[in-house]
Structure 1
Amino acid sequence: MHKPHVTVAAVVKKGDRFLLVKERDKFTATICYNQPAGHLELDETLAQAASRELFEETGLTLTPIGLVGIYNLHAANGIHYLRFCFLFDGAQITTEPCPKDADIMSADWHTLEDIKTLPLRSHLVLKCIEDSLNRPIQDVSFIYDDN
């Protein structure tokens, strides 16, 4: 039976900037940029997973304000990902991001125009950001969770 990898991602917006993490792609070994993102773990909701990944990769503690979208990706590495992307409001952040995860080289703010020039982990990085600007954001309660 086929089972896609369930992942979460965090679009964090502060003014006209978005928070991205710099990391080394585990499959290609190249340096790239991504939203704080990762896999859903046992006994956590999708929103909790997004907040956890955000904390691990940036040191920031935030709660998602909405669901940007659900993305079905058959990646070049042969893995099928089902990605749930959440929006976080970074307006009140006054501290610099400080990654806790040793795999994250840095976490920095970028404009949309800057992001378009960066080597991105996948095309979903830009797609999620553009969707956060151009599509209706769903309330987190849109996702039913029986936990």
Structure 2
Amino acid sequence: MSVIWKPSVTVAAIIERGQRFFMIEEETADGIRINQPAGHLDPDESLEQAVIRETLEETAHAFTPTALIGTYMSRFISPKTGEAVTYLRFAFTGELGAAQDRALDTGILRTLWMSYDELVASQDRHRSPLVMQCIDDYLQGKRAPLSLLFTHASALGNLEHQ
């Protein structure tokens, strides 16, 4: 029997205002970590829908993606469990909307605005090395149009279009 390897697909929102980045602080199995609003692609949603949903769940703010910053792959081995996971991350930039009256997702402790220098100084607390890579790429002006992303209707649960 062959084993099929499947990376974990995630999305992240890179949001900047006044040279500060909108981040979350979250409780993880490896302690309290800093990350962009980010999370897993769920069944029956596009990458854009996933980053909109994850940003709302983790920050209680609407988010409108305007560009893809990049696609990233990394492998994480938990220091506590020794478990290895490969992540395939799609990072977006866009417009942060108004705060909504809702609770933050389970495990999210708070949102915070951090300067680049504060992010560099806290790298030992980042959820992954991709946190800084995405910000560096954002600051370098890397952008791809959302039109590069295509989601077939079958991926959105619309099986009659297969």
Q: Same fold (TM over 0.5)?
A: yes
What residue in structure 1 maps to residue 24 of structure 2? 21
CA positional deviation for 1:98: 6.8
How much identity, in percent, do the aligned residues show? Answer: 36
CA positional deviation for 1:97: 9.7
* CA distance, structure 2, for counterparts of residue 137 and residue 97 of structure 1: 31
SS in 1 for 2:121: coil
CA positional deviation for 1:142: 1.1
Match of 1:101 among 90, 98, 105: 105
Counterpart of 1:144, as a letter, is F
Over alpha carbons, which structure has the higher Rg? 2
* CA distance, structure 2, for counterparts of residue 101 and residue 110 of structure 1: 20
What residue in structure 1 maps to residue 76 of structure 2? 75
The number of residue pairs the alignment matches comes to 143
CA change 1:19–1:97 in 2 (3 A) is farther
CA positional deviation for 1:18: 0.5
* CA distance, structure 1, for counterparts of residue 45 and residue 20 of structure 2: 29
When normalised by structure 2's length, the TM-score is: 0.82
Unpaired segments of 5 or more residues in structure 1? none
Query: Contact 2:62/2:98 (CA < 8 Å) preserved in 1?
Result: no
Query: Contact 2:10/2:40 (CA < 8 Å) preserved in 1?
Result: yes
SS in 2 for 1:116: helix
* CA distance, structure 2, for counterparts of residue 129 and residue 3 of structure 1: 26
2:62 is equivalent to residue 58 of structure 1: no
Query: Contact 2:25/2:34 (CA < 8 Å) preserved in 1?
Result: yes
Query: Contact 1:58/1:97 (CA < 8 Å) preserved in 2?
Result: no
SS in 1 for 2:112: strand
| Larger mean Cα displacement after TM superposition, 130-139 or 56-65 | 130-139
Unpaired segments of 5 or more residues in structure 2? 79-83, 154-162
2:119 is equivalent to residue 115 of structure 1: yes
Please, what is the CA RMSD of the aligned residues?
Answer: 1.8
When normalised by structure 1's length, the TM-score is: 0.90
Q: Comparing both structures, which one devotes a greater share of its residues to helix?
A: 2
* CA distance, structure 1, for counterparts of residue 25 and residue 60 of structure 2: 14
Counterpart of 2:16, as a letter, is K
CA positional deviation for 1:76: 2.1
SS in 1 for 2:118: helix
